[in-house]
Amino acid sequence: AMRGRFDAAVEAFRISRQHIEHEYGKLHPNTATVLDNLASALSERGDHEEARQLQDRALRIRETNLGLEHPEVATSHLNMSATLVAMGDAALSRQHAQTALEIFRKVYGEDSLELVRPLNNLANAHAALEQPERALELRQQALALARKHLGDEHPRVAQYRHRLGLLLARLGRDEEAETELRAAMDAYTKTLGAEDPSAGEPCADLAELLVTRLGRADEAVGLAERAVRLAALGEVGDAGRGSARFVLAQALWASQAHRDRPRARLMAQLAVRDLEGDDLRAQVEAWLGAHPAEGEP
């Protein structure tokens, strides 16, 4: 279903591109905008190389028409940085994100909300380059600006706290990670409602942290149950649903108060089905092999 929506968006933007290029010409800023829109839809669909080529064209059009330090040029650099990190070229992604950050600083100043996205993109690049400490500094700067301008309960702030929590967990700072993941989950819940799917991913990540790192499987079960339920309501796709099911499997197996090992194995088996073609699938299969059903050798 998600693929179908992306296909429809790509087709709509291709048609729009034809109309815009016919009306304004191939080198007009309006053409750059529709190229960016088409590139975003392609990138969401996983067609990163075509997206990168279109974003590069949009960048050149904007530089020619608007100058090298225009905010729309910075936006093009940001779009390029996001696509490049998804393609595995973190070094070039970092360059584009840094350029965008420098432009926005000149245009808007050091205290602007506009700096949040380039700071986060730059953090993504540093994280991919195995520089998590630098990525952490950038994430913290981005979060501080977002909280100042948007408040603690804004969905974007929740998103940034979620990312920060994951990075803290990667660095082994588990208690701090728990604080950020819980804050993200609670902010989504308070702002969007208890059944909004946005809370599902931080909920699953918090449950995973509790069961695999902090030894609190009893507490993790309820969170993992909620994550699985929210994954079914949202648009996370099979991989997101499978990941949540695997967290629930681990929690149900390790819990004392809520132990249900047959259901734990069932959740893991369903996760294997969901994770077709995903790197996590091998980990789930290994877990199943290490956690046999009663009576199995």
Cβ count near 127 (within 10 Å) = 21
Structure-block tokens of residue 234: 């949202």
Taking the CA atoms of residue 13, residue 17, residue 20 and residue 24 in that order, the dihedral angle to the nearest 10 degrees is 150
The pLDDT of residue 71 is above 60:
yes
Q: What is the mean pLDDT of the chain?
A: 95
Whether residue 6 is predicted with pLDDT greater than 70 in this model: the reply is yes
Tell me the helix, strand and coil percentages in the chain, rounded to 5.
80, 0, 20
The length of the chain is 297
Q: What is the DSSP string of 157-209?
A: HHHHHHHHHHHHHHTT-HHHHHHHHHHHHHHHHHHH-TT-GGGHHHHHHHHHH
Residue 2: predicted pLDDT: 57
Residue with token string 């942290």? 209
Per-residue DSSP letter, 215: -
Distance (Å, rounded) from C-alpha 281 to C-alpha 243?
Answer: 9
Report the CATH number of the 1-105 domain: 1.25.40.10
Rounded distance between C-alpha atoms, residue 232 and residue 215, angstroms = 27
* Domain boundaries defined on the chain: 1-105
Give 214's pLDDT tier (boundaries 50, 70, 90).
very high
The pLDDT score that the predictor gives to residue 234 is: 76
Query: 227-283: per-residue pLDDT in tens?
Result: 999 999 877 778 899 999 999 999 999 999 999 999 999 999 999 999 988 889 999
- Rounded to two decimals, what is the model's pTM? 0.90
Model confidence over 117-173: pLDDT tens digits? 999 999 999 999 999 999 999 999 999 999 999 999 999 999 999 999 999 999 999
Radius of gyration of the chain from its Cα atoms, rounded to whole angstroms: 21
Backbone dihedral angles phi then psi of residue 112, each to the nearest 5 degrees: -85, 145
Rounded CA separation 164/197 (Å):
19
Residue 226: both structure tokens together: 């909620």
